[in-house]
Amino acid sequence: MTITQGKKGCAVWKDGEVDQVPAFNSEAKDLVGAGDTFLSVASLAAYLDAPAEVTGFLGNIAGSMAVSTIGHSKFLEKVPYMKYMGTLLK
Q: What is the pLDDT along the chain (90 residues), one digit of tens a residue?
A: 899 998 899 999 999 999 999 998 767 777 778 889 999 999 999 999 999 999 999 999 999 998 887 776 778 899 999 999 999 999
pLDDT of 69 reads 78
pLDDT of residue 71: 77
Note the Cα 57 to chain centre separation in Å: 6
d(CA 22, CA 46) in angstroms, rounded, equals: 18
Q: How many CA atoms does the CB half-sphere of 6 hold within 13 Å?
A: 7
Q: What sign does the CA torsion over 68, 71, 73, 75 have?
A: positive
- Give the Cα separation of 14 and 45 in Å (integer): 12
